[in-house]
A = this chain, B = another copy of it.
Amino acid sequence: MPLTPIALNGGKACPEEPNPPKPCTGFPEYHNVYIEPGSYEIYKKTNEFPEGTIMFKELQLTLPRQNDDGSRVEPSGRGYFPGPYNGADVTVKDTKRYTGTHGWGYYNFNHHEPKALTAKVKSREECAFCHIGLGAKKDDVWVQFYPLLDK
């Protein structure tokens, strides 16, 4: 569950088009990522994401800030605390269907609530671009942020 608070990223989310200002963030919140359990069982044995793997990324804002860095103070300390949900993304592995994006299909079910009921696959430039070119460690997945996957 990486957390990239909007307060640490220019205080604003990046608009989708055409040239986002920097700094900004496309993910001003927690990213809580889940993998379909059957796929994970296979991954543990093969160390490869099998055909049909589904990952679900739930976006979740932080509770309101008390400090410029976006943090607040609660009994456990100063930091960040989960707040309202804020949309979701889904990826599906199908190497025959998604040949233009390295075998993964990327879907955006809104980066705000309510989540969309359906979504169409995104172009290579919209989601896959970062996964392919910016250092996702294994098979375009950011396993370096998920110790259980990074074996």
Contacts and interface: CB of A to CB of B under 8 A. Distances in A.
B31 A76 contact: yes
B1 A32 contact: yes
A78 B23 CA distance: 9
Interface stretch (A45-53, A81-89, A93-101): A81-89
Contacts of A83: 147
A107 interface: no
Contacts of A25: 76-79
Given A1-B1, A1-B82, A69-B69, A77 B147 contact: no
Contact of A75 (B3, B76, B135): B135
A78 to B, nearest CB: 4
B2 A74 contact: yes
13 contacts: A1-B82, A2-B74, A2-B76, A4-B77, A8-B77, A23-B78, A27-B76, A28-B77, A31-B76, A75-B130, A76-B130, A80-B80, A81-B145
